[in-house]
Amino acid sequence: MRAKNLYRPISDNPQVLGLLLTLPALIAILAVVFFPIVSSFWLSLHQKDLSRPQFDAFIGLKNYFNLLHDSRYLNSLWVTLRFSLTSVILEVVLGVSTALVLNQRFVGRGFVRGLMILPWAMPSIVNAAMWKWIYNADYGALNALLTQLHLIDSYKIWLADPKWATILIILANVWKETPFTVILVLAALQTIPEDLYEAARVDGASAWRSFLHITLPLIAPVLMVAAMLQFIWGFQTFELVYVVTGGGPFSTTELTTLRIYATTFRSLRFGYGAAMAYLTSLAILIPAVFYIRSAYRRVVEM
């Protein structure tokens, strides 16, 4: 009877009981996520150079101020922004177009839908190795195909050209990430009532007008989610560029992830590399916050 009274206050208070039940998960999250975030931020406030440990010291925000004048880092930030925005635009356009086709009824539709997921499901390092082989100047499939189609006279070193290297890296990224947009848009298309299209056809609306006034507004929230996720993932791209171009030629494909990696693990400047990571995260966080606020405002208005 006494033991029963001891446990009754906990069972009678659902908030306390819920806290106790989630406490192990909260501890794990703090240990795995929160502690590394705080620890790395504290590291970014130090001059931590493993090649010169005698000069390690607390320097406050000096690493962040130095980054604002670091031409190599600013160039990588611009390259990453251009890479992400171009990829997002292509992925959204191709994703919507492909989803519209897959939403139609045709023989083998289920098989084609399943096939679409393969590029996105492929491990990033495998995808990068595949595209490195395709772009190879000596035995790559791209040169072989273009030569057989008589579009080029001889094999070309595509990745040695800054312009082509950027374009080909973007195309490789679009090939892998577009299926994610296709899946989201296809799911959104299947929630649109067919009655809306029938009413539009009765009113004499063309297929293009139906798309502009029915389909596009109804899938717009999903497109916003897909675009924001793809933009963030663009800033996180590492394996593709590391394997295919290594950031070259002349740093034209050096993304911020590659610059952070080189600074931290090659130059052993851990404090400066941590500051790079946080400043890059801030560049991603700003548009994400604006998106979340606009999405929340739209939901409240509805």
> Dihedral, CA atoms, 207, 211, 212, 213, nearest 10 degrees?
90
**pLDDT tens digits, one per residue of 239-275:** 899 999 888 888 888 999 999 999 988 888 898 898 9
pLDDT, residue 302, reads: 54
- Please state the rounded mean pLDDT for residues 28-36: 83
- Please state the rounded mean pLDDT for residues 205-224: 84
Distance CA 159, CA 140 (A): 12
Instruction: Specify the DSSP class assigned to residue 251.
Output: T
pLDDT, residue 36, reads: 83
Question: What φ, ψ does residue 46 adopt, rounded to 5°?
Answer: -120, 155
The strand pairing partners of 57, in sequence order, are 47
pLDDT confidence band for 9 (50 / 70 / 90): low
Q: Is the pLDDT of residue 64 over 50?
A: yes
pLDDT, residue 11, reads: 53
Distance CA 224, CA 231 (A): 10
pLDDT confidence band for 298 (50 / 70 / 90): low
Distance CA 21, CA 265 (A): 40
pLDDT, residue 173, reads: 93
Distance CA 74, CA 67 (A): 8
pLDDT, residue 174, reads: 93
**pLDDT tens digits, one per residue of 90-126:** 999 999 999 888 888 888 878 888 888 888 888 889 9
pLDDT, residue 82, reads: 92
Handedness of CA 290, 294, 297, 299 (dihedral sign): negative
Going along the chain from its start, the domains and CATH numbers come out as 4-44 (no CATH), 65-301 (1.10.3720.10)
Q: Is the pLDDT of residue 48 over 70?
A: yes
pLDDT, residue 12, reads: 63
Q: Which stretch, 37-41, 129-133, 289-293, has highest mean pLDDT?
A: 129-133
Contact at 8 Å (CB) between 191 and 48?
Answer: no
